[in-house]
């Protein structure tokens, strides 16, 4: 034992053995330390991905709410006077039912995005693209093809200016008694009220028919170019010169006007123009709504698909 204590070589060997063991232990402990540093980063990425996916999902749901509101508007809103002669109420109901399916499919894809994100994207894109196509047709984006699309500006113009259709529309406008309402508004007004204010015929018209639709403007009064003297809403006194404009249609409208409440200006081009303007504005706005909502939902679902894939692969 005295020899071992006095032998420096043995002490050195023991120290080296201890150092080697410590180094081995440190090497074994080093990988767990690195993995423990990476674990929080991965958790943070996963959490960030979930927040992004959840935010886009909520946004997509909120974007679908105006579609639901439009469904209620289309299914419960009363159609315009004489619109049924052009089969437009049936189109209105059809678009409302189609939008209901779009609303349901869109939200179903949002809620089932984790199970079938790729299939869900394909399923939702089909009705959205059809919605976009119909909307573009209603706003008149397809100049050549829009004649075959019910409700498009060209289709409406062809129907309204068709004499066979207009005869039915004209009878419907007369039976709706829209000009009677105009006459009732003018009972409290006197011609002196207008002469004292030195208003022109068109200013008199605006004064009497404030908030009156374009159809009433065109069907219940003579064209402005005729320069007739205002008496009341449905009676205008003719001047010696009529229709001094260069447009032959204006001259014909001046001749077609009669103070008879059964005739008035129902055969005038201005009556057709007014009726067309009222109907076309409604369907143009609906088409614009379909275009905007379809584009927003397409973008939202694409972003939701990308974010879902990102979340599924751990935010890499």
For residues 92 and 282, give the distance between their C-alpha atoms in angstroms, rounded to a whole number: 11
**pLDDT at 99 (0 to 100):** 95
**pLDDT at 58 (0 to 100):** 93
Neighbour tally for 173: CB within 10 Å: 24
**pLDDT at 41 (0 to 100):** 66
Q: Mind listing the pLDDT tens digit for each residue in 204-216?
A: 444 444 444 555 5
The end-to-end CA distance of the chain, in Å, is 64
**pLDDT at 206 (0 to 100):** 45
For residues 102 and 99, give the distance between their C-alpha atoms in angstroms, rounded to a whole number: 5
For residues 151 and 88, give the distance between their C-alpha atoms in angstroms, rounded to a whole number: 7
Output phi, psi for 222, to 5 deg.
-75, 160
For residues 304 and 219, give the distance between their C-alpha atoms in angstroms, rounded to a whole number: 52
Residues with Cβ < 8 Å from 93, sequence gap 6 or more?
74, 75
DSSP code string of 78-108: PPPTTGGGGTHHHHHHHHHHHHHHHHHHHHH
Tokens of 290: 């379909």
- Strand bridging mode 229-232 / 235-237: antiparallel
Q: Mind listing the pLDDT tens digit for each residue in 297-316?
A: 999 999 999 888 887 775 54
DSSP code string of 243-308: --SS-HHHHHHHHH--S-TTTTTTTSHHHHHHHHHHHHHHHHHHHHHHHHHHHHHHHHHHHHHHHH
The C-alpha angle 37, 309, 296, rounded to 5 degrees, equals 130
Q: Whose CA is closest to 262, among 192, 171, 184, 196?
A: 171
The kind and range of the H/E element at 231 are strand 229-232
- Residues in the chain where the model's pLDDT stays below 70: 1-43, 78-81, 143-147, 181-217, 233-234, 240-251, 314-316
**pLDDT at 12 (0 to 100):** 55
**pLDDT at 285 (0 to 100):** 93
What pTM was computed for the model? 0.73
């Amino acid at each position: 034992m005295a020899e071992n204590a006095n032998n420096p070589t043995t002490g050195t060997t023991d120290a080296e053995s201890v150092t080697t063991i410590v180094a081995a232990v440190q090497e074994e402990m080093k990988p767990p330390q690195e993995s423990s540093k990476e674990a929080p980063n991965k958790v943070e990425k996963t959490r960030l991905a979930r927040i992004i996916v959840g935010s886009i999902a909520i946004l997509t749901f909120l974007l679908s709410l105006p579609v639901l509101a439009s469904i209620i508007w289309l299914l419960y809103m009363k159609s315009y006077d004489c619109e049924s002669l052009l089969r437009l109420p049936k189109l209105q109901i059809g678009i409302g039912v189609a939008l209901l399916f779009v609303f349901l499919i869109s939200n179903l894809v949002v809620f089932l995005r984790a199970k079938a994100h790729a299939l869900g994207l394909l399923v939702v894109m089909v009705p959205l693209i059809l919605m976009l196509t119909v909307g573009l047709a209603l706003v008149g984006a397809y100049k050549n093809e829009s004649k075959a699309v019910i409700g498009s500006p060209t289709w409406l113009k062809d129907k309204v200016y068709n004499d066979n259709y207009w005869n039915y529309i004209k009878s419907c406008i007369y039976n709706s008694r829209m000009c009677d309402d105009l006459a009732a508004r003018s009972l409290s007004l006197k011609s002196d009220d207008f002469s004292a204010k030195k208003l022109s015929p068109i200013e008199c018209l605006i004064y009497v028919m404030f908030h009156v639709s374009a159809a009433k403007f065109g069907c219940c009064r003579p064209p402005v170019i005729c320069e007739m003297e205002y008496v009341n809403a449905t009676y205008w006194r003719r001047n010696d010169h009529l229709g001094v404009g260069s447009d032959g249609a204006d001259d014909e409208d001046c001749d077609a006007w009669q103070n008879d409440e059964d005739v008035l200006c129902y055969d005038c081009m201005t009556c057709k123009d007014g009726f067309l303007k009222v109907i076309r504005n409604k369907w143009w706005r609906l088409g614009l709504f379909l275009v905007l909502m379809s584009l927003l939902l397409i973008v939202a679902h694409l972003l939701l698909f990308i974010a879902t894939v990102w979340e599924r692969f751990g935010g890499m």
